[in-house]
Amino acid sequence: MAGVSLKCGDCGALLRSVEEAQEHAELTSHSNFAESTEAVLNLVCSTCGKPCRSKTESDLHTKRTGHTEFVDKTADAAKPISLEVPKVTASGSEDAADVTSQTEEMVVPEVDKNLLQELEGMGFSTERATRALHYSGNASLEAAVNWVVEHDNDPDIDQMPLVPVSSKAEAPKSSLTPEQLKAKQQELREKARKKKEEEEKRMEREREKERIRVGKELLEAKRMEEENERKRILALRKAEKDEEKRAREKIRQKLEEDKAERRRKLGLPPEDPSTTKPSATVVEEKMSLPVRPATKAEQMRECLRSLKQNHKEDDAKVKRAFQTLLTFVGNVVKNPDEEKFRKIRLTNQSFQDRVGSLRGGTEFLQLCGFEKIEGGEFLFLARDKVDMAVLHSAGSELDSAIKNPFFGVL
């Protein structure tokens, strides 16, 4: 199979032509090239049409633009490579009819390094500056700039010039006056400046796009986090409702069992389920049959629920009241013989702010055994009326009310 590329033996790069191989040699100082049957990749972006010569180049294009679809047109672009080097004329253009001998080596002409650096400082590329100095005879900076002005439209203006080792190109003479040359120099500097500004603006637009993309990703991540938190809260509320439902069902079953037990003790036959009205509710059964009185713990729980429902617009105030009540109860449990812990002045401003001003606060303390004395000025728990079981139940109910976020919601 005929060769379709030149492969650099030093770095493995694939090149499409002899000219590319010469440019590669100039840039890298590599000199070991061989004809290869492996074609240079031609991956064309489906979105913007940019051709990429390697997988690395396509990956960089994807990272920079976000385009991921590429069409492999390597086979369409592959064609046998010509190892003949076209001859360069004195004007800098290629003459297809005049080809140098294949045995003659082509090299980059030597130019004045100082003048080359000055031209590069003015914004000219290395290839253009080298070509200008070579064909202006390395005469001066003005002559090189004059040559660039005259040949600015040449198709090969930005290609590195190549000449045979044994040949020397003649330099054309400058045909511009010093004033015209100075004006052209200023024009070229202005073009280079504008090109640099346009590149900076393009890079700024790219950075702005990247900032916008990152901002959108952060907003989406925050939204997902809030959505997950909302789902978690809903799941907790559902679990709480299910627990309440199971508790009500247990109470209903207990009522049924108590009802059946009472019928048995009274010598009545068991109730026929078919005679029970389908629409009958637990509330109706409670009204029709005597039930056991609520325990102190149930009364305390209902008192705390009522307190939270009455002041549900201020959760912080309710929580502070629960914590204050827990402190009162805890002090009595730890020091039952200390009267100062069993006597509370109702007119105390701190007590009023925390408990007394909330409906249900004083009632809860009365369920714990406290009684109003001295015309209602004090709440007092007599030593002989201290019931540790009741106080422990009160502490448990208060702890549950403080820690359960859904307490009193249902």
Q: What is the Cα–Cα distance from 40 to 211, expressed in whole angstroms?
A: 36
Q: What is the Cα–Cα distance from 256 to 271, expressed in whole angstroms?
A: 10
Give the tens place of pLDDT for each residue, 124-139. Answer: 888 888 988 888 888 7
Rounded percentage of the chain residues whose pLDDT exceeds 70: 83
Under DSSP, is residue 151 helix (H, G, I), strand (E, B) or coil? coil
Range 295-403: architecture per CATH: Up-down Bundle (1.20)
- Selected residue with higher pLDDT from 224 and 153: 224
- Yes or no: domain 101-176 corresponds to CATH 3.30.70.20: no
| Helix (H) or strand (E) segment spanning residue 372 | strand 371-373
Residue 383 DSSP class: G
CA atoms within 13 A on the CB side of 44: 9
The tokens describing 242, both together, are 């299910």
Rounded percentage of the chain residues whose pLDDT exceeds 90: 19
Whether 295-403 and 101-176 are alike in CATH topology: the answer is no
- The domains of the chain are located at 5-77, 101-176, 295-403
Give Rg (Cα) of the chain. Answer: 48
Give the tens place of pLDDT for each residue, 250-268. Answer: 999 999 898 888 888 887 7
pLDDT value at 286 more than 70: no
Q: What is the Cα–Cα distance from 129 to 138, expressed in whole angstroms?
A: 11
Residue 274 is predicted with a pLDDT of: 66
Residues 371, 372, 378, 383, CA torsion sign:
negative
Under DSSP, is residue 69 helix (H, G, I), strand (E, B) or coil? coil
| 103 CB-contact burial (10 Å; exposed 0-12 / middle 13-18 / buried 19+) | exposed
Alpha helices by DSSP H, 48-140: 55-65, 74-77, 113-121, 126-135
Under DSSP, is residue 17 helix (H, G, I), strand (E, B) or coil? coil
Q: What is the Cα–Cα distance from 294 to 62, expressed in whole angstroms?
A: 72
